[in-house]
Each structure stands twice: as structure tokens, then as C-alpha cells.
């Protein structure tokens, strides 16, 4: 990794001090953002979630300062790829109590994952690890991610993980949110007790799907509802939308319409690509 591909508090730097609360306690939040023509097209959504996460965790986010660091980084990074932003509660003495520290701002460049944005047939595997409920941490993208690490450890090669909560409700995929079309409506899980409320999920719920004259029902979703769905896709703010072809051993949407040009999924993908061309397949 070259030095100019990462910045800490505005300085080219590839390491973070050992006394940072991000490392010691996971006291921080992060955003993984699509970078396109030296712009972050979904920055306004990322900024809002970041602010919400910082407020929940008591992190003193200085937005004007972050904007300066971000501008500097975007000038140094390649024009296309992704930017990972880590905001931590900053350097401090040992101990769980925060003492009014200034936050740490980490910006890193990564190339896009390959295959870049091809809407390949995605295969999901049901994880046995169940997400615990915690309303205080649900929705935000904090740095305590052992749930995802333990779930990921179960997975076979080449599949993504489907996560349920401790009550057996569908929550999300390993690093994306999930939508299903039941023949009438789009549905996506409510994320008030666990899960990460993705930026692409919000964009689809608030802008893209309503513009098609449809709306998204945000509610608890049973595994059986998912299995019986006509179409299923996952989404995140780096890859956009990916149709799901299969839930290993339980659900098969490969013959379904989600990959056909006239499918509901394709209609959403097409409109997303119209409004945000970087997410064109």
C-alpha cells in the first residue's frame, strides 16, 4: 500500500496510534463509499449515517474538518474505486470512559472489488450464527464487527452469507442489505434491533423505488417469506444491486424473473443506473 492511498487526520500515514479507541474498544464507525470520477456520489447519505453513528457513540465528529481531509484525499487518490472512511473516538488513556477526545479521521483508497459491478448470479448461504438484538447499536456501521467475522467463518467459497437474528428473522447479507419482491410489493427487513442500515438501502427506499411508482415495506421478514419471494436482490453502496439466484438448499430464484430484462429487479437496476450512472452494470 503506498502512502498516498491512506491518510490519518490529513497526514499520509498507514498506521494508527496504539492508544486509539477505535483499536482498543471498536469505538468508532466507518463508511465504505463508491468513488467515481473523483466524486463520492452518495456522500450526502454517508455523511448522515456517519453523523448519526457518531452521535450514538459520543464521538465528536467535526464535519468541516472531515470535509477538508476528504477533499485532500480525493485529490490524492485515483479517480475511481472506493474510499473507506474510519471515524474513531480518538486517542486517549486506558479505560472505557471517554474524556472528550478529538476524533481520529482515517481515509483509505481501495480499487473496486473484482468482478467490478457485474450483476452476477449471487448465491447465499444461511449462517447458523444469529445476530443478537441491541437497539442501541442497531442500524449504525460501528467497528464492533465480530458478529460478521463469526458468521463469515462458516461460509463456503464463492457464496455470500445470509444472516438471521436470534428470533429467526431475516436481517441482511454479510455486507449488504436484502430486498425481496413478493409479487406485489418490495420488502426489506426492519433494522431497529440489529443489522446495518445501508446507504444503498436508503437510496432505494427513498428515491429509486418510489420513482417507479412503488414503495418498499420495511418490516420483520420471516425466512419463509424470503424463500417464497418471486425475486430477491442484495445491495450496497459499492456494488449497487446484485440479483440473488439461490439460497443454498432452501431457495432457488435462478429460473425466476429477477435476471430477465422485464423483471422487477432489472427495472430497479435500470433506474438506479439512470440516476447514478456509476452503478450501471
Contact residues: a copy of itself, CB under 8 A = 1, 6, 8, 14-27, 30, 32, 57-58, 84, 86, 89, 94-98, 106, 108, 110, 129, 132-134, 136-137, 142-146, 148-153, 155, 174-175
Would you say 152 or 223 has its CB closer to a copy of itself? 152
Within 10 Å of residue 222's Cβ, how many Cβ atoms? 13
- Reduced to 3 states (helix: H, G, I; strand: E, B; else coil), residue 166 is coil
Would you say 139 or 272 has its CB closer to a copy of itself? 139
Would you say 18 or 37 has its CB closer to a copy of itself? 18
Reading the block at residue 198, the C-alpha cell is: 445501508
CB of 118 to a copy of itself, least distance (A): 18
- Reduced to 3 states (helix: H, G, I; strand: E, B; else coil), residue 160 is strand
Q: How far apart are CA 3 and CA 1, in angstroms?
A: 7
Would you say 40 or 174 has its CB closer to a copy of itself? 174
User: What single DSSP character describes residue 90?
Assistant: -
Q: HSE, CB side, 13 Å, CA atoms: give it for residue 278.
A: 21
CB of 208 to a copy of itself, least distance (A): 26
Reading the block at residue 55, the C-alpha cell is: 452521535
Spatial CB neighbours of 215, under 8 Å, sequence gap ≥ 6: 185, 186, 209
CB of 280 to a copy of itself, least distance (A): 23
Q: How far apart are CA 140 and CA 122, in angstroms?
A: 25
CB of 72 to a copy of itself, least distance (A): 17
Within 10 Å of residue 122's Cβ, how many Cβ atoms? 20
With beta carbons less than 8 A apart as the criterion, state whether 242 and 233 touch: yes
CB of 206 to a copy of itself, least distance (A): 27
Would you say 84 or 271 has its CB closer to a copy of itself? 84
CB of 48 to a copy of itself, least distance (A): 20
Q: How far apart are CA 241 and CA 5, in angstroms?
A: 27
Would you say 14 or 275 has its CB closer to a copy of itself? 14
Amino acid at each position: 500500500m503506498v502512502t498516498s492511498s491512506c491518510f490519518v487526520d490529513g497526514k499520509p500515514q498507514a498506521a494508527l496510534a496504539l492508544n486509539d479507541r477505535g483499536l482498543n474498544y471498536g469505538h468508532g464507525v466507518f463508511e465504505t463509499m463508491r468513488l467515481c470520477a473523483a466524486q463520492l456520489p452518495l456522500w450526502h447519505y454517508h455523511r448522515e449515517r456517519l453523523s448519526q453513528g457518531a452521535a450514538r457513540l459520543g464521538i465528536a465528529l467535526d464535519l468541516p474538518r472531515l470535509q477538508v481531509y476528504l477533499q485532500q484525499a480525493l485529490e490524492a487518490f485515483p479517480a475511481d474505486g472506493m474510499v473507506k472512511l474510519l471515524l474513531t473516538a480518538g486517542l486517549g488513556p486506558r479505560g472505557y470512559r471517554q474524556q472528550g477526545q478529538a476524533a481520529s479521521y482515517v481515509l483509505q483508497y481501495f480499487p473496486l472489488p473484482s468482478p467490478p459491478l457485474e450483476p452476477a448470479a449471487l448465491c447465499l448461504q444461511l449462517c447458523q450464527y444469529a445476530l443478537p438484538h441491541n437497539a442501541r447499536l442497531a442500524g449504525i456501521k460501528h467497528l464492533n464487527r465480530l458478529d460478521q467475522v463469526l458468521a463469515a467463518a462458516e461460509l463456503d467459497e464463492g457464496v455470500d452469507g445470509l444472516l438471521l437474528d436470534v428470533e429467526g428473522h431475516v436481517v441482511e447479507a454479510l455486507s449488504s442489505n436484502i430486498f425481496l419482491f413478493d409479487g406485489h410489493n418490495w420488502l426489506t427487513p426492519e433494522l431497529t434491533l440489529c443489522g446495518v442500515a445501508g446507504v444503498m438501502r436508503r437510496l432505494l427506499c427513498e428515491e429509486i423505488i418510489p420513482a417507479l411508482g412503488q414503495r418498499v415495506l420495511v418490516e420483520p421478514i420471516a425466512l419463509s417469506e424470503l424463500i417464497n419471494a418471486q425475486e430477491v436482490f442484495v445491495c450496497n453502496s459499492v456494488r449497487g444491486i446484485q440479483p440473488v439466484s439461490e439460497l443454498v438448499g432452501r431457495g432457488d430464484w435462478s429460473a425466476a424473473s429477477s435476471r430477465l430484462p422485464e423483471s422487477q429487479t432489472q427495472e430497479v437496476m435500470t433506474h438506479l443506473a439512470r440516476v447514478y450512472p456509476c452503478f450501471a452494470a
